[in-house]
């Protein structure tokens, strides 16, 4: 494919960190044949993302979400606030969106995005837009969950208090989830969940999950959502009309008996 024009000073200098070498090469090829985009830096595992980010000078970074956001407790792995970045993911599931937004991503791109979509998102981010906010706003459920998580993350921590990820684990626990369900929602392993729970109980000075929940509630870090009211038994929902109808039918049946 032939370039239509030479690059202008307003070109967007990009960096990309992704474990898929073929994807990085394909993205570089795409940018090489786009007038206003240029990949200035690229890397992937095993090179640590933090060290790579500290050495590059670009306008915008595309980061694999699994490596950019391995866990809220590992704050060192998240890009500095001054670094605008787009999350790369295999999907735009609600949990993925929330993780990326929580870590500070400006937008999110799936690896099967069309070239036109990639260009459009990068150009919008370069102009100062935040496309990820629009994706989140499309679902009232996501907005409510994001608000709740932000409330947890802005909780006042005592010295040696809980991390944001540990608060998320406690929040899931308060909603009655078991270890496997917590791991699924937070996209971590069951062993990592157990490690977080052990750390939580150690920090709070308690010996079991129930006491950990009680301690977190007392500190105002989480709230226990009451279960939905159980459906009333039929007898409890009988109206006077229904009671009279049943009584009349019972009387009629008794009269028919010999």
Residue predicted with more confidence, 188 or 257: 188
Nearest by Cα to 31 from 93, 147, 115: 115
104 and 64, same structural domain?
Answer: yes
Domain containing 181 equals 155-218
104 and 22, same structural domain?
Answer: yes
Residue 154's pLDDT band (cuts 50, 70, 90):
very low
Tokens for 50, please give them.
């933090």
Helices marked H in the chain — which ranges?
21-32, 49-55, 65-68, 94-103, 115-126, 131-137, 140-153, 164-174, 179-186, 190-204, 209-218, 240-256
Contact between 80 and 56 under an 8 Å Cβ cutoff? The reply is: no
Residue 71's pLDDT band (cuts 50, 70, 90):
very low
29 and 130, same structural domain?
Answer: yes
pTM: 0.52
Nearest by Cα to 224 from 238, 208, 209: 209
Residue-wise pLDDT tens digits, 190-229: 898 998 888 888 888 888 887 887 777 776 666 655 545 5
179 and 104, same structural domain?
Answer: no
160 and 96, same structural domain?
Answer: no
Residue 110 host element (H or E): strand 107-110
CATH of the domain at 181: 1.10.10.10
Check whether 24 has a pLDDT greater than 90: yes
Residue 136: how many CA atoms within 13 Å on its side-chain side?
Answer: 22
Residue 37: strand pairing partners: 12
For the chain, the average pLDDT equals: 75
Which of 135, 169, 199 is a domain's end point? 135
Residue 187's pLDDT band (cuts 50, 70, 90):
confident
Contact between 54 and 68 under an 8 Å Cβ cutoff? The reply is: no
Q: What is the mean pLDDT of residues 110-122?
A: 92
Residue-wise pLDDT tens digits, 2-16: 333 334 446 899 999
198 and 114, same structural domain?
Answer: no
Winning range, highest mean pLDDT, from 109-113, 165-169, 199-203, 252-256:
109-113
Query: Is residue 178 domain-resident?
Result: yes
122 and 22, same structural domain?
Answer: yes
104 and 20, same structural domain?
Answer: yes
Number of domains in the chain: 2
- Classified as helix, coil or strand, 105 is coil
170 and 105, same structural domain?
Answer: no
Looking at residue 4, what is its pLDDT? 33
124 and 56, same structural domain?
Answer: yes
**Measured distance CA(148)–CA(88) in Å, rounded:** 24
Q: Residue written as tokens 């609600």?
A: 94
Contact between 105 and 85 under an 8 Å Cβ cutoff? The reply is: yes
Query: Is residue 233 domain-resident?
Result: no
Query: Is residue 108 domain-resident?
Result: yes
Check whether 22 has a pLDDT greater than 90: yes
- CB neighbours of residue 185 within 10 Å: 18
Check whether 101 has a pLDDT greater than 60: yes
Q: What is the mean pLDDT of residues 124-133?
A: 85
Query: Is residue 83 domain-resident?
Result: yes
Looking at residue 84, what is its pLDDT? 86
Query: Is residue 141 domain-resident?
Result: no
Residues 6+ apart with CB under 8 A from 16: 24, 27, 28, 39, 41, 42, 43, 61, 62, 63, 88
Nearest by Cα to 13 from 25, 31, 29, 27: 31
Tokens for 101, please give them.
């937004």
Q: What is the mean pLDDT of residues 36-57?
A: 90
Check whether 254 has a pLDDT greater than 70: no
């Amino acid at each position: 494919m032939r370039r239509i024009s030479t690059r202008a000073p307003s070109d967007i200098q990009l960096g990309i960190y992704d474990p898929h070498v073929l994807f990085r090469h394909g993205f570089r090829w795409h940018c090489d044949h786009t007038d206003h985009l240029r990949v200035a830096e690229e890397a992937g595992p095993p090179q640590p993302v933090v060290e790579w980010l500290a050495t590059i000078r670009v306008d915008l970074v595309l980061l694999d979400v699994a490596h950019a956001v391995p866990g809220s407790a590992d704050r060192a792995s998240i890009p500095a606030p001054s670094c605008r970045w787009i999350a790369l993911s295999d999907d735009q599931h609600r949990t993925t969106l929330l993780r990326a937004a929580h870590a500070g991503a400006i937008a999110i791109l799936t690896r099967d995005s069309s070239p036109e979509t990639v260009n459009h998102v990068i150009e919008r981010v370069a102009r100062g837009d935040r496309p990820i906010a629009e994706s989140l706003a499309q679902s009232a459920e996501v907005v409510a969950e994001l608000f709740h998580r932000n409330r947890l993350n802005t909780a006042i921590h005592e010295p040696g208090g809980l991390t944001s990820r540990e608060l998320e684990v406690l929040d899931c626990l308060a909603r009655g989830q078991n270890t496997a369900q917590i791991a699924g929602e937070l996209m971590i392993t069951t062993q990592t969940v157990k490690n977080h729970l052990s750390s939580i109980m150690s920090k709070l000075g308690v010996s079991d999950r129930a006491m950990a929940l009680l301690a977190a509630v007392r500190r105002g870090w989480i709230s226990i959502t009451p279960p939905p009211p159980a459906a009333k038994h039929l007898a409890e929902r009988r109206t006077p009309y229904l009671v009279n109808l049943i009584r009349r039918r019972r009387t009629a049946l008794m009269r028919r008996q010999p």
